[in-house]
Structure 1
Amino acid sequence: MKIISRILIPFVLVSCGGGDSGGDGNPNPDPVPAPQAATLIFPDNNEECNEGENISGEESRVTFRWNASQNTDSYTVNLRNLNTNASSQASATTNEADVTIQRGTPYEWFVVSRASGTSETATSATWRFYNQGPGLENYAPFPALAVNPARGSTINASGMLTLEWEGNDVDDDIVEYEVFFGTDSNPETLLATTAETTQEVAVTTSQVYYWRVLTRDSQGNTSQSEIFEFRIE
C-alpha cells in the first residue's frame, strides 16, 4: 500500500497597506506655522485718545485697531489700567475690537496673536495712552518705565551704577522726577530730584536693590512708577 503524506502550509494574509494610519489622512502632517506679531495702530502710543463713543461720564467705548498679522486666526487685546493696575482682555478674529474703558484714565495695551493647531503665540509692542475724560485740560504724566537696569535683572557691577528710565506725558510738560532708591522692597529714601532721566547710585556686590520714580508735570500732576528691582552679583 502506498501512503501519501500531506503537509499543511498555513495561508497568511499580508496587508500591503503598511499598517493602519488611522484613516486616509496624512500620518505626518506639516506643522502649523507660528503666528506673527501684530503692529498696533490705535490708540496711539503716548497720546490722548479722543475717539470713541461716550457711554457715561465715567466710561467710553473705544475701537482698538492693529495690522492683521500672518498665520493668525484670532487675537487677544490685553489692557492694564495704570491707575489701579487692573487688567482686562478682549478677543477678536479681525484686526479690531470695541472695548469699554474708563474715561480720564491712562492705559497700557498690547495684542497677542494666536493660531489654531499650535500653542505658539506672538506678542506685539506695548503702547500707552490716556483715554479722554470730561473736564480734563491737563493730564498727569504716564508712570515712568525702567530702562536700565532692566527690571528683575542680575548685573555685574560695583561702585557706581547709572539708573535710567523713560518718562512720557500727553501734554509734554514734565518738569522733574523724584528717584527713591534702597535695599528695602518699598524704597522710601529720596535719592534725588532731577529733570534728567538718569541718576547715578552707589551699589555693592551680592545685594538686591529697589527703586521707583515719581514724575511731576508743570501743573503739579504726579504719577508713581512701579517698584523696580535688580541684583548685583
Structure 2
Amino acid sequence: MRYELKLIAILALLMISCGGSGDPDPEPEPPAVVPPSAATLIFPDNNTECNEGTVINETQSSVTFRWTEAQNADTYQLNIRNLDNNNTARTDANTNSATIILLRGVPYEWFVVSRATGTNETATSATWRFYNQGPGVENYAPFPAEVVSPERGSTVADTGTTDLVWAGSDVDNDLTDFEVFFGTDPGNLTSLGTTADSTFEVTIAAGTVHYWRILSRDSQGNTSQSEIFDFRVQ
C-alpha cells in the first residue's frame, strides 16, 4: 500500500513538472484597433453660397460633399442639418465623398463622423455651414446665430447678471444687428432690444432655468432665428 502511494505521488510530481496539470497556454490577444482620426472638410466651404451643385428642378439640386480621407477610418457618416427646420439627414459612405439632394435657397450645416471596424471609438470633424444656391436669390438671410456662452444645458454661478454671447455669420457679409429674446418660459420670451455686438448682459435669478434666442438681421431686412438656448443658475 505504501508503495502504491509513493508511486502515485511520484506520478503527480512528474505531471506537474511536465505541465500536465497546469493551465493551457492562453490564447494571444488580438491586436488593438487604432481609433480613426477626424476628417477635414473640403466642400461645400464654410459660410459661403454653394453654387456648384446640379440643378434638378426649381426647388432641388444635388450637391457632392467632399472631405479628406481620415487615418484608420473604414467608413464615414455624413450628417447634414437643415437650419430652417432643424431636420437632420445621415448618410453612410465608404469613400470620402457623397452626393446628396438638397432644397435650394436653404441654409445647411454639415459634419462627418469617421468610423473604424473593430472599435466603437469615432472621430468627428468640424461643423461647417453654407447656403445651397436658390433661384433668383440676390441676397441671402443670415445664418442662425450659434451659442457661445453660456453653453446649452450648462450651469452658471449666481452673480446677479451674466453675458449672453453668440456667433453670427452671413454669406453676404451684411449683418447689421441682433435682437435678443430672453426669459424663463421658452414659449414666451421677451425682447430685450437690439445690438450690433455679439454679446448682451442679462439679469439672472438663482435656482432658475433661463432661455434665450437671437434674431439676426442684415442690411436688406432679411432675418433668421436661432434655436432656443438654455442654462441654469445655481
TM-score normalised per structure 2: 0.89
The letter of the residue matching 1:97 is: A
Amino acid at match of 1:214: L
Q: 1:178 to 1:27 in 2, by over 3 A?
A: same
- In 2, the alpha carbon distance for the partners of 1:17 and 1:69 equals 46
2:21, 2:109 → 1: CA distance?
61
Match of 1:96 in 2: 97
Give the equivalent residue in structure 2 for 1:3. none
Equivalent position of 1:29 in the other structure: 30
Secondary structure class of the residue paired with 1:32: coil
Query: Tell me, what secondary structure is at the counterpart of 1:120?
Result: coil
Post-superposition Cα deviations, 1:134-178, rounded to whole Å, max 9, x if no partner, equal 111110110001111111110113222111111101101111111
Deviation at 1:115, TM superposition (A): 0.3
Secondary structure at the aligned position of 2:144 is classed as coil
* Corresponding residue number in structure 2 for 1:208: 209
Tell me how far apart the structure 1 counterparts of residues 231 and 153 of structure 2 sit (CA, whole Å). Answer: 5
Distance 1:15 1:64 in 2: 62
Q: How many residues align?
A: 225
Secondary structure of residue in 2 paired with 1:181 = strand
Aligned partner (choices 15, 20, 24) of residue 19 of structure 1: 24
Q: Which amino acid counterpart does residue 121 of structure 1 have in structure 2?
A: T
Match of 2:49 in 1: 48
CA distance in 2, matches of 1:139, 1:17: 76
Q: Is the 8 A contact 1:48 1:130 kept in 2?
A: yes
Distance 1:7 1:16, change over 3 A: closer
Give the counterpart letter for 2:109 in structure 1: E
Provide the secondary structure at the position in 2 that maps to 1:143: strand
| Runs of at least 5 residues in structure 1 that lack an aligned partner in the other structure | 1-5
Instruction: Report the 3-state secondary structure (helix = DSSP H, G, I; strand = E; otherwise coil) of the residue aligned with 1:65.
Output: strand
Q: Deviation string for 1:95-151 (max 9, x for gaps)?
A: 111111111110010000000001111111111100001111110110001111111
- Provide the C-alpha distance between the structure 2 equivalents of 1:140 and 1:16, rounded to a whole number of angstroms: 78
Percent pairwise identity: 58
Residues of 1 paired with 2:4 and 2:205: CA distance?
92
**In the alignment, which residue of structure 2 is the partner of 1:86?**
87
**Conserved 8 A contact 1:187-1:211:** no
Matched, 1:169 2:170: yes
Q: Distance in 2 between matches of 1:17 and 1:175?
A: 79
2:220 aligns with 219
Cα distance in 2 between the residues matched to 1:64 and 1:53:
12
Cα distance in 1 for residues equivalent to 2:173 and 2:34: 42
Q: Which amino acid aligns with 1:19?
A: P
CA distance, structure 2, for counterparts of residue 172 and residue 16 of structure 1: 79
Q: Kindly state the Cα deviation for residue 7 of structure 1 after the two structures are TM-superposed.
A: 5.5
- The yes-or-no answer on 1:232 pairing with 2:226 is no
> Structure 1 residues 156, 28: closer, same or farther in 2, change over 3 A?
same
Alignment of 1:124-163 (within 5 A): 124-163=125-164
Name the SS for the 1:117 alignment partner.
coil
Distance 2:86 2:181 in 1: 20
Separation in structure 2 between the aligned mates of residue 185 and residue 141 of structure 1, nearest angstrom: 23
- Corresponding residue number in structure 1 for 2:187: 186
**Shift of residue 15 of structure 1?**
5.8
Q: Kindly indicate which of the two structures has a greater share of residues assigned to helix.
A: 2
TM-score for the superposition, normalised by structure 1: 0.89
**Following TM superposition, by how much is the alpha carbon of 1:19 offset from its aligned partner in structure 2, in angstroms?**
2.9
Distance 1:195-1:187 versus aligned 2 partners, 3 A rule: farther
